[in-house]
Structure 1
Amino acid sequence: MKVKVNRSAAKALKEMLAQEEAQGKLFRVYVTNVHGDHAHYDLMLDTPTENDTVVSSDKEIDFIIEKGNEYLENIWIQYFQVPQEEWVITNPAMGHHHHH
């Protein structure tokens, strides 16, 4: 399992993790819905359970990933501010994405 994060997303995520309500928590990447050939993803602050694995991203941010979920194998998290503020979570290997 791999998680890649672009520089803008890494900066925004690290700022969120520095807030008091995030203390002791990590970001969970999860599937919100699956429609035939594609999935929708989201992020939330959470703590890992026995059904999870913690994966360190290429930007040294740890993420909680559900074990054995093929849709979460290779996640790419991006944050854009132009032309509008937008989070994009994709799985390039499977062609699955979600604009958050």
Structure 2
Amino acid sequence: MKVKINRHAAKALKKVLEGPEAEGKLFRVYVTNMHGDHAHYDLMLDTPTDHDEVVKTDKDIEFILDKREEFLDGVWIQMFHVPKEEWVITNPSKGGHHHHH
């Protein structure tokens, strides 16, 4: 399984991981809603289970993905500052639909 993340998102998530609430945890990417051929995604702090795979990105952040959920493989986590600050989580290999976080 693969996860991509842009540098703005990596910087913001690393700050959260430095906080006390993140001790011993990683970010989990999960599906919040399915619409036929695409999914909506979100993030939360969590710990891996037997059904999960921990995936390391090229920005040195590890994410938890449920191996049973095909829509998580290839997810792309981005943070933009222009035209407004927003999080966008997409999976280009699954139709490219996204969720603003």
Relative to the length of structure 1, the TM-score reads 0.96
Partner residue in 2 for 1:97: 98
- Structure 2 unmatched ranges of 5 or more: none
Greater strand proportion: 1
Alpha-carbon RMSD = 0.8
Deviation by residue 1:67-94 (Cα, 9 ceiling, x = unmatched): 1311001011000111111000010111
Inter-partner Cα distance in structure 1 for 2:85 and 2:45: 20
How far did residue 37 of structure 1 move? Answer: 2.0
Of the structure 1 ranges 78-87 and 23-32, higher mean CA displacement relative to structure 2 is found in 78-87
**In the alignment, residue 90 of structure 1 is paired with which amino acid?**
T
Deviation by residue 1:9-54 (Cα, 9 ceiling, x = unmatched): 0000000100111111000000001011221000000000111110
- Structure 1 unmatched ranges of 5 or more: none
- State the identity as a percent: 71
Large movers: runs of 4+ above 6 Å: none
**In the alignment, residue 53 of structure 1 is paired with which amino acid?**
E
Partner residue in 1 for 2:25: 25
Aligned residues: 100
Relative to the length of structure 2, the TM-score reads 0.95
